[in-house]
Amino acid sequence: MGRGNASYRKGRMFEWELKEMLEREGFAVVRSAGSHEVDLIAGRRGKIYTFECKSTSKESLYIPRDNILKLLLFSERFGARPYIAVKIKRDILFIDPYLLKLEKRSYLVEYSRISSIALSFKELIR
């Protein structure tokens, strides 16, 4: 299998992992198979979140501008709070997409930069 397939599998596995984590905390979670506008929609007691999920074993990754735009537009229409859920260097972090900087056609997510603006899972579910 090509490299793209391995990357897709890693991302899909992270989506399922996050879905299960949220469900254990009492969230109702829907996974949007096929990467439409968002990967996951989660809600609990009136709080609704949408997630774009990314996973990497590297120090950084690029997220295409279109992925973020779809997340923001869908979240606005749905009345949800958008997050980019990133599994990076074995940590799971949640980033407000409005805090990222566009660099050419992608958003750069660097572990050293995002750790100060990202939320942990415990902070997210509080």
The predicted pLDDT at position 2 comes to: 45
Sheet containing 40-44: which strands, arranged edge to edge?
A: 28-31, 40-44, 47-56, 81-88, 91-95
Q: 76-108 pLDDT, tens per residue?
A: 999 999 999 999 988 999 999 999 988 889 999
Which ranges of the chain have pLDDT less than 50? Answer: 1-3
The predicted pLDDT at position 93 comes to: 96
Beta strands of 1-121 (E only): which ranges?
28-31, 40-44, 47-56, 60-64, 81-88, 91-95, 102-103, 106-110
Complete domains list, the chain, with CATH: 3-125 (3.40.1350.10)
Q: For residue 110, what are its two tokens?
A: 């660097």
Read off the pTM.
0.89
The predicted pLDDT at position 4 comes to: 55
Residues with active-site annotation: 35
Q: For residue 65, what are its two tokens?
A: 């501008």
